[in-house]
Amino acid sequence: MASLSFTQIRGKNPVAEFSRTRPELGLTRPSRVGFRVFASESETKAEPDLSVTVNGLHMPNPFVIGSGPPGTNYTVMKRAFDEGWGAVIAKTVSLDAAKVKNVTPRYARLRADANGSTKGQIIGWENIELISDRPLETMLKEFKQLKQEYPDRILIASIMEEYNKAGWEELIDRVEQTGVDAFEINFSCPHGMPERKMGAAVGQDCALLEEVCGWINAKATIPVWAKMTPNVTDITQPARVALSSGCEGVAAINTIMSVMGINLTTLRPEPCVEGYSTPGGYSSKAVHPIALAKVMNIAKMMKSEFGDKDYSLSGIGGVESGGDAAEFILLGANTVQVCTGVMMHGYGVVKKLCSELQDFMKLHNFSSIEDFRGVSLEYFTTHTDLVRRQQEAIQQRKAVRKGLQSDKEWTGDGFVKETESMVSN
């Protein structure tokens, strides 16, 4: 499903295409017959409802801008709201942006082609970008302005701080005053910030995570999502700690630690900064299957250990089509975040995501997101259980198989019955 969708968007600009088709529709005067058909269809079949309410936050659709370049300033976040995104998560902020020093180039891309090729689809994206390097005061002003202009839309602040209770409390207090609707805590940035005991350094250490979540949840008065790193052996462990330490939801995954490649001409790694590189975070299409596995594991844990409580799950990783999003929702995600997909295809891609998700829902007669959320989860089991199921199925098929398998099996005693079993009418 995923690769089919990718083919559909390849070489097209969904923004331009969407805005091209709408005015044309408006200008074309429909024939009376055409109009009648359209009217009767719309009367009988309502469009599937994409709206979701998550931790009390109402969104017109489950598509959320993931923290990163697409949520880096007022202009781009406003654009996201105008294009119809369900919610926006801003680029991660911390108290002291002056400590954040970015380098360029900081991105490298993997194409479905030989090393060094500039052709082929982009399937993987590595970044060594840090959190926001814009002054906190500026970001706060922009959050406030956005909430004033879009009071009904959901703006989530992504925050990260050093291992310091007072620092976290100050950050939470100042960000909450802007009127944002929720926090996403970046416990997951794999590069740069762990050197300051931030990001993945906390998310990878359950004792530290529990302590920091305790500080955060004692202070915050709005919902808190913990964004998890996939760079651990068992992602359910930190997810469990975050939820039992008061977080309302978890989001997964952040980027996967990666080395994008070595340039075979210069023998230097990419992205190459003054001849050197450092491992970065991997995202885009190539991480989607890994993200699905992590989300599935978290969803199973949440279902068995946190039951019906109103905890939420946000699926992230390689989403570029409505089908990709449907997969996360089928595993139990309430919302789906997109970051690299927006960098590659623009903000207007949300219209394509919504219409493809609705097409999927129509195909199955689902009228709301809750109709199918989590329904595929029960089809995951252990390998041992797969073996047991297969053996049982083979036994059953054998039991119903008609007739004797070879002439050796004729017994004489059951001759009439055996003959009967091989008669077709």
Ligand X SMILES: Cc1cc2nc3c(=O)[nH]c(=O)nc-3n(C[C@H](O)[C@H](O)[C@H](O)COP(=O)(O)O)c2cc1C
User: Catalytic residues, which ones?
Assistant: 189
Q: Does 62 bind ligand X (CB under 6 A)?
A: no
Asked if 31 and 37 count as a contact pair (C-beta separation under 8 A), the reply is no
Q: Does 258 bind ligand X (CB under 6 A)?
A: no
Q: Does 227 bind ligand X (CB under 6 A)?
A: yes
DSSP E strands: which ranges in 164-268? Answer: 182-186, 224-227, 249-252, 256-258, 261-262
Asked if 290 and 253 count as a contact pair (C-beta separation under 8 A), the reply is yes
Q: Which residues ranging from 146 to 205 are in contact with ligand X (CB under 6 A)? A: 158, 186, 189
Q: Does 280 bind ligand X (CB under 6 A)?
A: no
Q: With H, G, I as helix, E, B as strand and everything else as coil, classify residue 209.
A: helix
Residue placing its CB nearer to ligand X in the complex, 68 or 223: 68
Residue 122 pairs with which residues in a beta bridge? Answer: 111
Q: Does 319 bind ligand X (CB under 6 A)?
A: yes
Residue 126 pairs with which residues in a beta bridge? Answer: 108, 282
Residue placing its CB nearer to ligand X in the complex, 126 or 153: 126
Query: How many CA atoms lie less than 13 Å away from 110 in the CB half-sphere?
Result: 19
Cα(382)–Cα(379) distance, integer angstroms? 10
Residue placing its CB nearer to ligand X in the complex, 130 or 366: 130
Q: Does 77 bind ligand X (CB under 6 A)?
A: no
Q: Does 314 bind ligand X (CB under 6 A)?
A: no
Q: Does 109 bind ligand X (CB under 6 A)?
A: no
Which structure tokens are listed for 322?
Answer: 């409505």
Burial environment of residue 191 by CB neighbours within 10 A (0 to 12, 13 to 18, 19 or more) = buried
User: Of all helices (H) and strands (E), which one includes residue 64?
Assistant: strand 63-65
Among 5, 14, 91, 270, interactor with ligand X by CB under 6 A: 91
Q: Name the residue among 295, 71, 55, 337 with its Cα closest to residue 182.
A: 55
Residue placing its CB nearer to ligand X in the complex, 258 or 340: 340
Q: Does 123 bind ligand X (CB under 6 A)?
A: no
Which residue has tokens 């998890």? 228
Q: Which stretch binds ligand X (CB under 6 A): 12-20, 32-40, 112-120, 279-287?
A: 279-287
Q: Which residues ranging from 6 to 45 are in contact with ligand X (CB under 6 A)? A: none
Please say whether the dihedral angle defined by the alpha carbons of residues 339, 291, 50 and 356, taken in this order, is positive or negative: positive
Among 182, 243, 287, 331, interactor with ligand X by CB under 6 A: 287
Q: Does 66 bind ligand X (CB under 6 A)?
A: yes
Residue placing its CB nearer to ligand X in the complex, 280 or 332: 280
Residues that bind ligand X (CB under 6 A): 66-69, 91-92, 125, 127, 129, 131, 158, 186, 189, 227, 254-255, 283-284, 287, 316-319, 338-341
